[in-house]
Structure 1
Amino acid sequence: MSRTDMKRTLVLALCALALLAATLVSGRAGAAELLIISYHDIRDDIARKGDPDQYAVSTQNFAAHLDWLAGHGYRPVALDDVIAASRGERPLPDKAVLLTFDDGLRSVHTHAFPLLRAYGYPALVAVVTDWVDLPPHRQIDYGPRMFTGDDFLTWDQLREMQASGLVEVASHSHDLHHGVNANPQGNSTPAAVTRIFDPERQRYESEAEYLARIRDDLSTSASLIERELGHRPRAMVWPYAAYNSQVNAIADALGMTVTFDLEGRSQAITAGMHGNGLHGLARLLLFDNPGIDDLAYELRHDEQLEGMRALQIDLDYVYDADAAQMERNLDALIERVKQIGPNHVFLQAFADPDGNGSADALYFPNRHLPLRADLFNRVAWQLRTRAGVKVFAWLPVLGYELPDARLRGSLAIESSNPAETFRLDPFQPEARRIIAEVYEDLAASSYFEGLLFHDDALLREDELADAAPSTPAARTQALIDFTLELRDAAGKWRPKLQTVRNLFAAPVLQPESEAWFAQRLDAFNAAYDYTAVMAMPWMEGSARPQAWLDRLVKEVWRHPGAPERTVFELQTVDWNTGRPIPADLLKAQVRRLQAQGVRHLAWYPDNFIDDVPPMSDAREAISARSFPYLEP
């Protein structure tokens, strides 16, 4: 090779390296990871653990957090940096961190602000404008005690912190930091996402009334901040992280194009995000006065390795025509779930008293089916707040027995098997509209964190030959696409919903049976957060249940990524005999599945009325606690 050729080769190589480096830098700039930490009160007099105010952090621990973050390469950023990165104007640094303080407590000025100045950390302070400069005669029930004006920031203090260049003020609403009446039973849920129930008029707020109330509140808050601080807020921090796409649109229109929640701990900030609004940014909520060991654990542990433990529960067991008995049933359910300690409950939102697998009525106000009882919202909220679990609403995909016989007949799938679950035809626009509105109505009336799509979402090869796609894979995908439409319909009122879909075991064990079900594991794992495989050997008529389960696990593991997304859902009753599966056998199944690498487990049914499976055995088998047994 000549010198000229060598020089040319070297130049080309250097150019290639420069291009690669530029690409890597551009990639980092386009998708920088942002950690956001949520603080509330910073005080000196906080118990090391178990303080009555679980969201308070001691001044000593807060200073230690700042020191640890600085020492481990985290780079503080302001809201302005996040917005600029989302517009592609300048990239965020590696390990960017944004600090936020909610509720506008006085300690932000007296305790946090001096440390922010010392460490050079910017912060976003979200204030409830109705609480700023709180008059002497008013008190706010803040949980551990009543708070007065001495506990909240003043406008002068906010002006001082803003003038430092370190603090930007966001809205935390004007007066939405409280609960409102959410149902006829008198439960209180977050004001920003609840259609208020009026017991005197026996009606809920209309959608228009609800949105007008939120718009008035946010407009008042933004105007007060502008009047007192000289500019309108750019961010809205929703109280209790409770929001939906409709109220985010209101915030957008008022100039608050950045909103936050409390799910997760970080997210990628990419150029171009700001055009769609920086909504629902994840934050790590600190509670129980964490030290640096606790903070390090929260930032380092892999959330994907956490296993699901779920009970699938029939709301039909809670319902009773006698209101007093229904309350006793609800108390029994909450106590059982609390004692067992799962981390998820799949809660039935439809009434199926005849047990045929389709919905005769619903447990929430809606436009299309009878309301058996306005019950789902109450039970879901009690499970979340009293038992501490995530609630997934369990609904049919196609199985709705519409009360209008003519309409029901015209939209139904005609099955050659009279024992088949009644289903509506998903290829008829009218049926799709009705079902989507059912999901939207559920989300408008209730608080939940995910959806479980029922096992009625199947399509036989001899059904709807003229309307359905011709190949099994295409029919499978058509039903998947429809369920995602239903998720989006519910997502209008409940953002970031996780999804689980029931899958029969046959398509796993006999892939050719996709033709008979329009279901396939790899397609489900690609579409949903989790696939709940019905690991139910007695339902499948197996004479050797454990060998059947072993084979099921082996077949599931053939699919890439299956351990992260597959829930093995066991049966607790042999429906052929009507007898419960012995508790020792259930526990042995759980242990064997775990030994084979199964991460996510559920079972159905969980009979809290008759204590089946027995609570002590259930706690041992399916608790999400590291130590599931009763304390001595």
Structure 2
Amino acid sequence: MPWLLLATFLVFCLLLPAAARAAEPLLVLSYHDVRDDVARKGDADAYAVSTQNFAAHLDWLSGHGYHPVSLSQVIEAAHGRAALPSKPVLITFDDGLRSLYTRAFPLLRAYDYPALAAVVTHWVDLPAGETVDYGPRPFTGDDFVTWSQLREMQASGLIEVASHSHDLHHGVTSNPQGNVTPAAVTRRYEEASKRYETETEYAARIRADLARSKAELQRELGRAPRAIVWPYAAYSSVTNAIADELGMAVSFDLEGRSTPMPSDLHGLARLLVMNNPTVGDLAYQLRHDDERTGMRALQIDLDSVYDPDPQQTERNLDALIERVKQIGPSHVFLQAFADPDGNGSADALYFPNRALPMRADLFNRVAWQLKSRAGTVVYAWLPVLGYELPDPAQRAALAIPGARADEVYRLDYTQPEVRRLVAGIYEDLAAGSYLEGLLFHDDAYLRDTELQDSAAGDSQARTQELIGFTLELKRAAERWRPKLKTVRNLYARPVLEPQSEAWFAQRLDAFNRAYDYTALMAMPWMEGSRDPERWLDRLVAAARRHDPQLTQTLFELQTVDWRTRQPIAAQRLKAQVRRLLAQGVRHLGWYPDDFVADRPATADAREAMSSRSYPYLEQ
């Protein structure tokens, strides 16, 4: 009988060894300071948690089935030598503040919770008279743990000490304009010589710092660190490789809140505990579904920021930042290439690189300003194939053969030289810039008359070939910026007319399997529709066949009718947004967003594209 077979199977599962059962993800919580006097909300130190709330967190975790684990247990589980208990949680503390010993350690001991403490060795030995700019006030040596306190906590068996670097917990100059970004991932710009650190110089600086941190921890505590907690969670495969060489094979970031186990030990996800959360706040953070959070994206032309006059560039940048702050999108897709003739391919780039002219060293500055001043996530928007190389002979030799003169100029991705060249562009972008994701430009298409020998003319195989190439580019960028999110532009016709995959080498279900999001170009005027709203309805219905909950498909509206060069009326755009949301669309964006002319008007853009719960100005 079926029920008997089911019962037998369940009993079998219960008798399996723990290591053979499906492992649960590892939750890692990241704390900093624990103080008695933290304001309930709005404390000057957003990273501080009150002693009362920290104790309540431990109590709640214990009462809701979470099991504390140590770094040793995590390492054993990652190597498949033992299983973690159900609902495993690792507590971590960054920076080595004195409250780790005076407030947190007694509570960890009371609840028998192990923890990982990441210390900046320079701060443990902070010289008299030297201070650390720690936000609410300058911190002195009295604000950090001492070596004797670390030895006592380590001897308890509850606390393992990790490196937080020796002295990388600060920013360095990252571009000619003077922006400061995390020292561990920035090729330092040297104003005196007007040049960036070479990769060799950069790696030597990081290696020297980590070697000193390891040596001091070994000397003072008798144990070399097994883990590195990168300052600001900023790291790369290059820095992780250096840490590996020094015996620190475990690293952590702040992307997500849990990691499936067993797992690679590089870049374990952590939930940053901020703003003094109550138990209710913490429970919400652990239980809410991030996938239900909608994206609101503005696609921004960096060509509109650039001006030959540096002062005008700065004025343009200020206008952009103010507009983005006022609108409050979740994401900005920021152009990283120069296309002054508007033909869809890159004539130059906005970052130092090995392949094309640099129009201006501008992308990193604008991206970092958008993050630090406007509080938005920035994805770099780059071509996949559309690069107009400066050497005419090379440009002709590497072009897609048989492409029409009126099409976007594109390189032939089947040629090894092209693959190396474009991968180098993506690596150069990531090596010198802040970004959290990539938007692959709409130049990544292939006509059925082009490269007819590719994949033996099979349209689905050609689609997969182009996808494979874009994923190569992602891997090249991830050498310097791990865990990049990906979005790829998709024309509407392959969704509305599936047979047209042969004309584009694009397909929504294949894109959604390959990328985090697909930016579906929901642009009815571009497609010549006489009834844009009904056209959008058809597009939603067609997309839902491949993405039933619309969790990955971003509908990107057009704000300008390029045939007439007239802007779409703001009221109509807002009505389209409401129409799409009413049909279950979660992710929205638009292009272009004209911050120079303030079109669509900021108030209308805020209403349509803000990610805030209440995107209206207070009266």
TM-score strictly above 0.5? yes
Deviates most, 336-345 or 466-475 = 466-475
In 2, the alpha carbon distance for the partners of 1:90 and 1:614 equals: 58
Match of 1:51 in 2: 43
Partner AA of 1:474 in structure 2: A
In 2, the alpha carbon distance for the partners of 1:409 and 1:562 equals: 44
> Which string of whole-angstrom CA distances, capped at 9 and with x for unpartnered residues, describes residues 524-575 of structure 1?
0110000000000000010100010000001001114561110000000010
Shift of 1:16: 5.6
In 2, the alpha carbon distance for the partners of 1:319 and 1:623 equals: 25
Match of 2:13 in 1: 20
Identical positions, percent: 69
Partner AA of 1:292 in structure 2: V
Match of 2:93 in 1: 101
- Structure 1 residues 625 and 14, CA, compared in 2 at 3 Å: closer, same or farther? closer
Aligned with 2:28 (options 33, 36, 50): 36
In 2, the alpha carbon distance for the partners of 1:406 and 1:504 equals: 31
Helix, strand or coil at the partner of 1:280: coil
Match of 2:245 in 1: 253
Partner AA of 1:34 in structure 2: L
Work out whether 1:570 is the aligned partner of 2:562: no
Shift of 1:267: 1.1
Alignment of 1:536-551 (within 5 A): 536-551=523-538
In 2, the alpha carbon distance for the partners of 1:524 and 1:347 equals: 21
> Which string of whole-angstrom CA distances, capped at 9 and with x for unpartnered residues, describes residues 418-473 of structure 1?
21000000011111110010000000010100000000000000112234541110
Work out whether 1:360 is the aligned partner of 2:352: no
Deviates most, 43-52 or 578-587 = 43-52
Partner AA of 2:391 in structure 1: D
- Structure 1 residues 372 and 624, CA, compared in 2 at 3 Å: closer, same or farther? same
- Structure 1 residues 202 and 85, CA, compared in 2 at 3 Å: closer, same or farther? same
In 1, the alpha carbon distance for the partners of 2:371 and 2:125 equals: 34
Match of 1:3 in 2: none
Shift of 1:417: 2.6
Match of 2:603 in 1: 616
In 1, the alpha carbon distance for the partners of 2:344 and 2:508 equals: 22
Match of 2:72 in 1: 80
Shift of 1:32: 2.6
Match of 2:208 in 1: 216
Match of 1:242 in 2: 234
Helix, strand or coil at the partner of 1:94: coil
Which runs of 5 or more structure 2 residues have no equivalent in the other structure? none
Aligned with 2:175 (options 171, 177, 183): 183
TM-score w.r.t. length of structure 2 = 0.98
Partner AA of 1:20 in structure 2: C
Aligned with 2:259 (options 250, 253, 267): 267
Aligned with 2:338 (options 348, 351, 365): 351
Q: How many residues align?
A: 619
Runs of 4+ in 1 over 3 A off after TM superposition: 10-28, 466-469
Match of 2:375 in 1: 388
In 2, the alpha carbon distance for the partners of 1:534 and 1:517 equals: 14
Match of 2:521 in 1: 534
- Structure 1 residues 413 and 166, CA, compared in 2 at 3 Å: closer, same or farther? same
Deviates most, 407-416 or 481-490 = 407-416
Helix, strand or coil at the partner of 1:619: helix
Give the alignment's Cα RMSD to 1 decimal: 1.7
- Is the 1:427–1:468 Cα contact (8 Å) retained in structure 2? no
> Which string of whole-angstrom CA distances, capped at 9 and with x for unpartnered residues, describes residues 290-339 of structure 1?
11111011011001110000000000000000101100100110110011
- Is the 2:549–2:584 Cα contact (8 Å) retained in structure 1? no
Work out whether 1:583 is the aligned partner of 2:570: yes
- Structure 1 residues 140 and 513, CA, compared in 2 at 3 Å: closer, same or farther? same
In 2, the alpha carbon distance for the partners of 1:152 and 1:176 equals: 16
In 2, the alpha carbon distance for the partners of 1:15 and 1:595 equals: 47
TM-score w.r.t. length of structure 1 = 0.96
Match of 2:132 in 1: 140
Partner AA of 1:464 in structure 2: L
Aligned with 1:411 (options 390, 395, 398): 398
- Structure 1 residues 514 and 457, CA, compared in 2 at 3 Å: closer, same or farther? same
Alignment of 1:91-490 (within 5 A): 91-270=83-262, 273=263, 277-467=264-454, 469-490=456-477
Helix, strand or coil at the partner of 1:364: coil
- Structure 1 residues 41 and 460, CA, compared in 2 at 3 Å: closer, same or farther? same
- Structure 1 residues 350 and 469, CA, compared in 2 at 3 Å: closer, same or farther? farther
- Structure 1 residues 11 and 215, CA, compared in 2 at 3 Å: closer, same or farther? same
- Structure 1 residues 14 and 38, CA, compared in 2 at 3 Å: closer, same or farther? closer
> Which string of whole-angstrom CA distances, capped at 9 and with x for unpartnered residues, describes residues 262-315 of structure 1?
010011111xx4xxx501000000111111111011011001110000000000
Partner AA of 2:73 in structure 1: D
Shift of 1:621: 0.5
Shift of 1:25: 4.4
- Structure 1 residues 140 and 476, CA, compared in 2 at 3 Å: closer, same or farther? same
In 2, the alpha carbon distance for the partners of 1:11 and 1:597 equals: 42
Which runs of 5 or more structure 1 residues have no equivalent in the other structure? 1-5
Helix, strand or coil at the partner of 2:321: helix
- Structure 1 residues 16 and 44, CA, compared in 2 at 3 Å: closer, same or farther? closer
- Is the 2:325–2:375 Cα contact (8 Å) retained in structure 1? yes
Helix, strand or coil at the partner of 1:484: helix
In 2, the alpha carbon distance for the partners of 1:606 and 1:415 equals: 34
Helix, strand or coil at the partner of 2:224: coil
- Is the 2:236–2:481 Cα contact (8 Å) retained in structure 1? yes
- Is the 2:488–2:511 Cα contact (8 Å) retained in structure 1? yes
In 1, the alpha carbon distance for the partners of 2:187 and 2:143 equals: 31
- Structure 1 residues 415 and 611, CA, compared in 2 at 3 Å: closer, same or farther? farther
Shift of 1:31: 2.6
